[in-house]
Amino acid sequence: MTEQTKTLSLAINGYWHAGTGLSAGSESDAMVDKTEQGLPILSGRTLKGLLRDALYRAEQWGWFADMVIPESSNVDTASTTVNLESTAVIPAQERHPVLRHGAGIYETLLFGSHPQAKKADRQAGLLRVGNATLRKEESDWLTAKPEHQQHLYSQLFSTAIDEDGNAKDHSLRAIEVTLPMCLTAKIALVPKTEQHQKWLADTALTAQLWQALAQSLTLIDHIGASKNRGLGEVVIQMQDTEEQAA
């Protein structure tokens, strides 16, 4: 069973700062992450963390309480709908007892066992998340015309205020921010073990995994640093890779 892919589209509606921990001396106290070509990027590792946190919250809040993982042999593979009158369903915990440990069922399947799970019970997740970058056409154009890349970035300044309302000495801080834009990232269900192969062969199961992930995206409304200061407002949607490419 080969991997199954989707595309995430990130519509970033304001300035955003995906930092590197590096500064540029007196020019900026915090620089944003960039590709080797100098273009904006949100790392797959950061994006995966956001996805996991969103799915975790959705699952803990009972968003998927009515979803059960059906026995693949009793599911019409042409449809993700289960006929409850003729199909026996088994709670996910009983069908996959290894998933009882750690986080929720869908979080474990997609992202792997919770870090606090016992070592003997740990398992890898199915989901692979790529970097979020500009679309190829935009990236190619900006790479060919690097003189325009400077317009993708700006700086924001802040300073600390004392109790009298005056700026504190030496408190001026500048951070680099990226302008609003749309990014895309490829995500995939990738089999790493024999058990993963079996799960990916279960059409109903993979449909539920994608459904759970798609529903959780509404919980991600900001990316990057300084979210509480209004940076990084985002809307994330999931599409079939073929649809995105078209």
> What local confidence, expressed as pLDDT, does residue 105 receive?
81
Q: How confident is the chain (246 residues) per 10-residue block, as mean pLDDT?
A: 89 88 57 89 94 92 78 33 34 41 72 70 85 96 94 81 74 82 96 83 87 95 82 93 52
- pLDDT at position 30: 72
The pLDDT score that the predictor gives to residue 120 is 61
- Joined together, the tokens standing for residue 195 give 């058990």
Tokens found for residue 1: 């069973």
Q: What angle do CA 139, 143, 144 make, to 5 degrees?
A: 120
Structure token pair of residue 183: 């990014």
Q: Give the C-alpha separation, 91 to 73, whole Å.
A: 15
pLDDT recorded at residue 125: 86
Tokens representing 138?
Answer: 């935009």
Contact 7, 185 (CB under 8 A): yes
CB 232 within 8 A of CB 221: no
Contact 241, 185 (CB under 8 A): no
d(CA 85, CA 95): 20
**Separation CA 192–CA 182 (nearest Å):** 31
